[in-house]
Amino acid sequence: MEQTFILIKPDGVQRALVGEIISRFEKKGFFLRGLKFTKADRPTIEKHYKNSIAKPYFDMLVDYMISSPVVAMVWEGKGVIAGGRKLIGSTDPLATMPGTIRGDFSIDIGRKIQHGNVIHGSDSLEEAKDEIALWFPEEERIVNWHSSLQPWIYE
């Protein structure tokens, strides 16, 4: 089974969307393997967004991401990376479809560059592995358990 990393950003936490977002992943048939409600520190966010370090908005992005708690999660399932990205929707709230998390809850990415889009999801297997390792170090093990629903969802 594939795993992905999902992060509910400060605006998603502040707007009380955590339960709704978790519910959408569960209803899709994905299994929660790790969950952490935390106030991220600057080094973690800088590592997480290392590909944006040269962007002019990088410092604003880091400041925003450490301004309020976030919810870090690991989800597992067949095609969970691509499926999770479809649940999340496009980065631009004006371009994403209703029914997606961003389509239903994002308002404006102009708020400090992509900070009004509620959620982050890994876009590749390699990125998922890196992000899971960053947010869930070995001493904070990912829980490997088998839901009684699994045979009803997967053959």
Using CA atoms, how far residue 114 sits from 41, 57, 70, 88, 104, in Å, is 19, 10, 15, 14, 16
Return the structure tokens found at 124: 């590749």
Respond yes or no: is residue 120 known to be catalytic.
yes
Q: Exposed, middle or buried: residue 108 (CB in 10 Å: 0-12, 13-18, 19+)?
A: exposed
Residues annotated as part of the active site: 120
